[in-house]
Structure 1
Amino acid sequence: MNWTDERVETLKKLWAEGLSASQIAAQLGGVSRNAVIGKVHRLKLSSRGRATSPRTRQKKAATAAPTTTTTTTRRPRATRPTTVSIGATALQAQFDQEPVAQTYIRPVSDVVVPISRKLELVQLTETTCKWPNGDPLSEEFSFCGNEAGESGPYCAYHSRIAYQPASERRRAR
């Protein structure tokens, strides 16, 4: 299918009127929606926002007119990242504001730091705490060795460190 000058002018006119690519393709005949979109891009016609019907424009105008004046305090909205094209295909996110780090401090109630028994690997049993102490490559490396019970591989203190509730992990992010 060849684009004649007459068909291109019709395309430009219908595009400016706000018709969709499918509607333009139907009016031109013998051309697909994708062919219309491709030609629009090659002609570099301006992109349009979504066409709104006259009824929705009237509704927006009616709601825009304030009837009374009230002052409300609004919380600032979280900023969304905007993507900027760099080079041919790479995208980089840019933020409007710096992120605010939030730290969550767990309550320190009933925390007793156990004195490590400093067991070596061959001294561990099923009921001893297997929390590592120090650098595994150093000679001073050892394991906690306190009573772990049947709850897992660690004593009560190290279990609190190793297994944090999901709600606390989400807050820390």
Structure 2
Amino acid sequence: MTDPSQSWSDERVELLRKLWSDGLSASQIAAELGGITRNAVIGKVHRLGLSGRAKSTASAAPRPRKPTRQPGPAAAAPAAVMPGAMRTSAALAPQPAAEPAPMLMRLPQPREEVVIPMSERVTIMELRESMCRWPMGDPTTPEFRFCGARSELGMPYCAHHSRIAYQPVADRRRDRKRA
């Protein structure tokens, strides 16, 4: 709870406005005003409708991330410090973690270019679960058919049409840049 003697007087409100426009954080303003919490400052700022403010140089710079402790023999026992030696935070600086290599899913590669004879193409009524569902032709015409070749296990298309339908991400991006 806040001290009732430290209520929002006109002088404190003006000081709040000035500090807020100077770019101080709510915690810094609470410490400057004394006797109030950070949340009280935030609440008063919202009630006063103060939104735009200058960014301080401290808040404009990205915050360094806290280092994560790695379990091991060095973390288990503290290092001995020689008298007179200067301690620095360089040892605690976050080390950039190597990003894991992206997982690439290997798609079935066709053994050869596939030409589907007209006799293997099927209508929607003849289409079965193990058949390729690649549409061929204009769906509004009576000649419209599906590929009908044997589909890969768990895939809706045969190996040839899977290669067309499921392009690797890098290839799609490269094709977009050309266009």
TM-score normalised according to structure 2 size: 0.41
Higher strand share: 1
TM-score normalised according to structure 1 size: 0.42
